[in-house]
A and B are shown apart, each in its own frame.
Chain A
C-alpha cells in the first residue's frame, strides 16, 4: 500500500492523533527528508539513533540521581521518542517551553541551586531529551550530540570502575554512528544500512585507538586541579588551620610532596612513631574546628641525657611549600630547630608545636632533634576552657547522651578512651574518602556521623572523638599533621600531602596522650577511593583483596579491576613519570610532552594511511592475476601520459598506446592477445602449470616494458 493510498483512505486513529498534535503530516512520513527549501535535515533514522545514544548516556546516571529527576528525565526521553519531527504548531511549542521551565524548577527544588556539579548534571539529564524534541536542523542535532556526550562523561564522577570502562567503547561508537547518520538519509540510493554504518563507525573508532592510547600515555598530568573547586564539597589532602569535615564529600589524595626528611645517624623511627605535628585545633564552635588561642610561650619537655642518648632522632626537613605557620616535627622536639630561613622567627607553642611568626616564601629547610614520645606532661597553668568546651549545650544531643553513658560506665578516663575506640572498632564504621555530607543540619552533624552515617575519614573520627571525650569530661583536642612517610631508595623519607592526618590528644592524669581513633577502625572496613591505588596503599589493598579470594573468577575480576584502577584510573603524574622513565623518555616538561604528542599524531596518521593502503593491496591481491597485471600496465601508461578512461577495455587502451609508442606495438599486441585468451577463452586450456603461469607471463611482459618516464620521453604523438 503506497503512501498515496494512505492519504486517500480514512486515517487510522493513530494517524489522526498524530496529525492533530501537529507533529507531522500523516502519510508523509516516508517521503524524503528534503524540506521545502531544498535543504536536507537529518531524517527520522538519525533522530531515533541519536535518541538511543542519549538514552545510553542517561542510563549511566541511574545510580547517581534521585528518583524524581530520573522519572522526569526518562519521561522526557519517552516524549523525544514519540515525537518524530520538531513541533511547529504554536500550542506544542508553548507546551515544550513550559516543560523546559518546569525542568529547571525541578532541578532547583532538588538541589537548591543551578550552578554546581550535581545540579548541572541534572540539568543536562533533563534538557538533553527536551532539546532533541525540538531539534530540526543538523546544527540542533549537534547540540544534542554534544550535550549527550558531556552528560556521559559526567557519569564518570560516580562510576569510574572497570564496568564503565568496558561499556565505554560501545557508547562512543553509538555516538560516532549517530554523527554519521546525520547526513545519510535512509532512502538515499545505494545508501548503507544501519548495520553498515555501525560497522564503519566501529572500524574507524578502532583505527583511532592507537592515537588515543598514545595521547593518553603522553598527555601531561596535572598535580593539582586547573580551577578552584567552587563546589566546596571536594577537598584535597593537606594542612590547614581549621577543619570542617562534614562539608566534604570527596577527598582527593594529592600526591604532591609535602616535605622530605633526611635522618642523621643510624637510628630510624618506627612507623608508629611517625606522627608529624602540625596545627592543633582546640576550638569548636559547633561546626568548625580551629586553632584558637595559640599561646606562644611553650616550654620544651626536659628529658634525661640517657633517654636522649638512647632514643633521640636528628633529622633535616625540607619543606617544599609552607601551607601553615607550623613546621612539621616529630613528637616531641627537644630544642629550637636551626635553619637559615627560620632562626629568627621560630617559636614553641604551648602544645609542643614549632611555629614561625613569619611564613617564608618558597622552600624551607631546618634541622631538628626529637625524641619520639606519645605523651608529655601538661602544664598546669594552661587555660583549659577550650579543651573542654563542647560549644552550645543543645547540639548533638545523642552524642552527649552517649558520652554521659560512657562516663557512668567507665569512670576511669583511660578505660573510657579505650571504650570509645572499641566502639569505633566494633560498630560498622567505615573509613572512606567519599563520605556522605553531614551538613544538612549542622547542629546534628556529629550525631549523624556517630550513629547513622558512620562513614568518614580521619577528620570525622578525630572531631567526633574529641567531642565525645569533652562531653564526658576529659579534656581533648584535635592534632593535625602528617602520619607516616615513604622511604625513598636514596635514603631519605618522602612525606606527601596524601599523608596528612588528624588525630587527637587527651589529657589523662596530667599528661597529654596521643590517641589515633582512625586506627581503631577495623581494617577490612577501610575503603579507599578511586585514586587510592598508590604504592604505599597497595599492601592494604592486597589485604582487603584476600578477603575476596574465595572464588577464582571473582579473584580474576578483582585482579583485572586492580590493574585497571592502577593503570587507567590511577594514571596520575607519578605513574606517568615512572612509565616515561621505563620507556626511556626520562623527565618531560610540558613542552617536550607536546612535541611527543605531535609525533604521536603524525605516527598514527601514518598508521591509518598504511592500514588503508594494505587493505587496498589485499583487495588487489584478491583479484585475478591477469587483472592485476593490467592494472600495473594501465598505471604505467597513465603516468606516461596516455589517459586511460576506466571504462576503456584493454584492447582499446592498448591500441591507442600502440599509436603513441609504435616501437612497443608488438608488445602491446602480445599483451592483448594473451590477456584475452587468459580471461575470455572459451576453452580453458589446462596446462599443467595452469592459470598462475599465464598470469606470470603477462607480468613478465609488463616488466619488459620501459618505465613510465622513459615512455613519456619516447612518445611519438
Chain B
C-alpha cells in the first residue's frame, strides 16, 4: 500500500541548540516598541566576561595556584590585582551603556538591490562612552513578507567584528547607521538591535537589546527601459507635451518651499535672485492616470516594476499622475511627496500603506 507522504518544507538548517533556544526565546519574544527614543537601564543591560576575559581569569587562577604551591606571596598579589581589575572593568564597561539614549531615525527607502541604511541617533547624557557598537540580530530577510529570522550567535559575532565602534564625549550626539541589503521588494523590518560595548579592556562584554518598530520600504526596480506612459487623462492622444516654458509674468507667484522645481521660473531667478513658480496654463504639464488593472502582465512583481517605471517616467517628464491600485488610490498631483507616496504604495503592496506599522517619517 503506497502512502501519500507529504513532505513538509525543510526546517531551517539549525543546530539542535539553536532550535531549543528559539523555542525558549519565542516564549519571551521581544515586542517591538513604537516609541522614538529609548534609554538603556540597569535591568536591561547584561554583563558577562568575553573570551579574553575568561583568559584573564584563567591566567589569574594559574598565578594563584603557583603562589599557593610555592608560597610566593607576590604571586598572590598579582593574581588578586587581576581580580580587582576584573571587577573595575565590569563597572567601567557597564557604565558605557547605562543611560545611553538611542533614537530611531527615518524609515529608509531604497530600490531592490541597494543597501538600506537605518540611522540611529545616539546620545550620551552624562559621561564619556566608548566602544559602542550596534548590530542587528535578525538576518537579512529573504524569507516571506515580514517574518524575521534570528541570526546565529556566530553570525552576530562576525558582524560585531566589523562593526564601527563609537566613542562619545559627555552630552554628545552621534549618528550610527546599520546597513541592510535590500534583497527583495517590500517591507523590511530592522528587527532587534544589540547594543554592545567591550571597552575599555575588552575583557567584559556589556550588551542590551532594543527593538524598535521600524521598517524600511523597498521599492520595486523600475522596468528598464522605461515603457511608454498610458494615454493621458482627458487630453488628446498627443500626451506628454513638452513643457513650453512661458515667461508670462502674470502667471508667476512667489515660490513656496515644496513647489516642484520643474515649475520654477529660472530665468526670473537668474535675473532677480527671487524665486517664482509658474502657475500659468501654458506649458501645462501632462496628466496621466496610472491604473493597476490597466497592466496586462500576470506576474505581480513585473506589474509593480512597470508601475514604478511609469511613475519615474512621469516624474522625469513633469507629468502629473494619479494612481489607483487595489490597495488604495492617490489623486492627481505633481510633487515630490506625491511621488514618494506612490512608490511607497508600490513597495508595501499587497498591504495598504496605512496598515504597515513601523514606518517612521
What is the CB-to-nearest-CB distance from A135 to chain B, in angstroms, rounded to a whole number? 14
Q: Which A residues are in CB contact (< 8 Å) with B161?
A: 38-40
| The one of A180, A200, A216 that contacts B80, using a Cβ cutoff of 8 Å | A216
- A568 near B87 with CB under 8 A, answer no
Closest to A204 in B: B88
Which residues of chain B have C-beta atoms less than 8 A from A500's C-beta?
Answer: none
Chain B residue at minimal CB-CB distance from A634 = B125
Residues B80 and A215 in contact, CB atoms below 8 Å apart: yes
Q: Which residue of B lies closest to A171 (CB)?
A: B78
Choice from A179, A200, A645 contacting B202 with Cβ under 8 Å: A179
Q: Are A207 and B59 in contact (CB under 8 A)?
A: no
Would you call A687 an interface residue if the criterion is a C-beta within 8 Å of the partner chain's C-beta atoms? no
- Can you list, as one digit per residue, whether each of B52-69 has a CB less than 8 Å from chain A (1) or not (0)? 100110010011011111
Q: Do residues A149 and B91 form an inter-chain contact, with CB atoms below 8 A?
A: no
Cβ–Cβ < 8 Å partners of A706 in chain B: none
Q: Which residues of B contact A200 (CB under 8 A)?
A: 200
Do A190 and B167 contact each other (CB < 8 Å), given the known contacts A179-B202, A212-B81?
yes
Q: How many residues of A contact B (CB 8 A)?
A: 65
B131 in the interface (beta carbon within 8 A): yes
Evaluate contact between B74 and A160: CB separation under 8 angstroms. Answer: yes
Q: Which of B78, B123, B165 contacts A645 (CB 8 A)?
A: B123
B72 at the A interface (CB under 8 A): yes
**Which residues of chain B are near A226, meaning CB under 8 Å?**
65, 68-69
Question: What residue in chain A is nearest B158 (Cβ atoms)?
Answer: A39
Contact A222 B171 (CB under 8 A): no
A172 & B200 in contact (Cβ 8 Å cutoff)? no
Using A190-B167, A609-B91, A612-B95 as known contacts, say yes or no to A211 and B84 having CB atoms under 8 A apart.
yes
The distance in angstroms between the C-alpha atoms of A164 and B84, with both chains bound, is 20
Query: For residues 72 through 126 of chain B, which have their beta carbon under 8 Å from a beta carbon of chain A?
Result: 72-78, 80-81, 83-85, 87-92, 95, 101, 103, 123-126
Nearest to B78 among chain A residues (CB) is A153
A176 near B162 with CB under 8 A, answer no
B72 near A204 with CB under 8 A, answer: no
Main secondary structure of the interface of A (DSSP, over half): helix
Q: Which residues of B contact A150 (CB under 8 A)?
A: 59, 62-63, 66
Asked whether A386 is an interface residue with its Cβ less than 8 Å from the other chain, the reply is no
Q: Does B72 lie within 8 Å of A601, measured CB to CB?
A: no
CB-CB under 8 A from B125, the residues of chain A are 646
A205 and B83 within 8 A (CB) = no
Cross-chain contact B71 with A205 (CB below 8 angstroms): no
Which of A219, A604, A646 gathers the greatest number of chain B CB atoms within 10 Å? A646
Could you say which of A181-189, A337-345, A373-381, A463-471 contacts chain B?
A181-189
Residues of B within 8 A of A189 (CB): 167
Cβ of B20 under 8 Å from chain A: no
Q: How far is the CB of B346 from chain A (nearest CB, A)?
A: 34
For the complex, is A680 an interface residue (Cβ under 8 Å from B)? no
Question: Could you tell me if A183 and B199 are in contact, using CB atoms closer than 8 angstroms?
Answer: yes
Say yes or no: B69 contacts A225, CB within 8 Å: yes
Check: B203 CB closer than 8 A to any chain A CB: yes
Q: What count of chain B residues pass the 8 Å CB interface test?
A: 54
Contacts of B66 in A (CB 8 A): 150, 153-154
A99 at interface (Cβ–Cβ under 8 A)? no
A168 touches B87 (CB 8 A): no
CA distance A184 to B200 in the complex (A): 8
Bound CA–CA A648/B167 (angstroms)? 21
Question: In chain A, residues 513-571, which have Cβ atoms closer than 8 Å to a Cβ of chain B?
Answer: 531, 568-571
The complex places the Cα of A530 from the Cα of B32 at a distance, in Å, of 65
Would you call A191 an interface residue if the criterion is a C-beta within 8 Å of the partner chain's C-beta atoms?
yes
A252-B87 Cα distance, complex, nearest whole Å: 34
Asked if A424 is an interface residue, CB under 8 A from chain B, the answer is no
Instruction: Enumerate chain B residues within 8 angstroms of A205, measured Cβ to Cβ.
Output: 81, 84-85
Q: Please judge, given known A-B contacts A183-B198, A612-B91, whether A212 and B37 are in contact too, CB under 8 Å.
A: no
Given contact pairs A142-B52, A211-B83, A204 touches B92 in the complex (Cβ within 8 A): yes
The interface residues of chain B lying within 8 Å CB-to-CB of A190 are 167, 169
- A208-B202 CB under 8 A given contacts A150-B59, A183-B131, A643-B37: no
Q: Does B70 contact A (CB under 8 A)?
A: yes
Residues of B within 8 A of A645 (CB): 37, 101, 103, 123
A191, A207, A570 — most chain B CB neighbours (10 Å): A207
A59 near B: Cβ within 8 Å? Answer: no
List chain B residues, Cβ under 8 A from A586: none
The answer to whether B70 touches A157 (Cβ under 8 A) is: yes
> Which of A40, A149, A172, A571 interacts with B59 by CB under 8 Å?
A149
Q: Which residues of A contact B92 (CB under 8 A)?
A: 204
A457 at the interface (CB under 8 A from B): no
Closest to A207 in B: B88
Q: Are A160 and B73 in contact (CB under 8 A)?
A: yes
B127 at the interface (CB under 8 A from A): yes
B87 near A608 with CB under 8 A, answer yes
Give the residues in chain A near B65, CB-CB below 8 Å: 226
Given A142-B55, A609-B91, are A157 and B162 neighbors across the interface (CB < 8 Å)?
no
Contact A212 B84 (CB under 8 A): yes
Q: Does B324 have its Cβ within 8 Å of any Cβ on chain A?
A: no
When the two chains form their complex, are residues B126 and A616 in contact, meaning their CB atoms are under 8 A apart? yes
Q: Enumerate 6 A-B pairs (CB-CB under 8 Å) in ascending A order.
A: A150-B66, A153-B78, A208-B84, A215-B80, A225-B71, A616-B127
Query: Closest 3 CB pairs between A and B?
Result: A208-B84, A212-B80, A38-B162
Extra A-B contacts (14), CB below 8 Å, given A165-B77, A189-B167: A38-B162, A39-B162, A153-B74, A156-B75, A160-B74, A183-B199, A209-B81, A211-B80, A213-B80, A216-B73, A219-B76, A569-B73, A608-B91, A647-B123
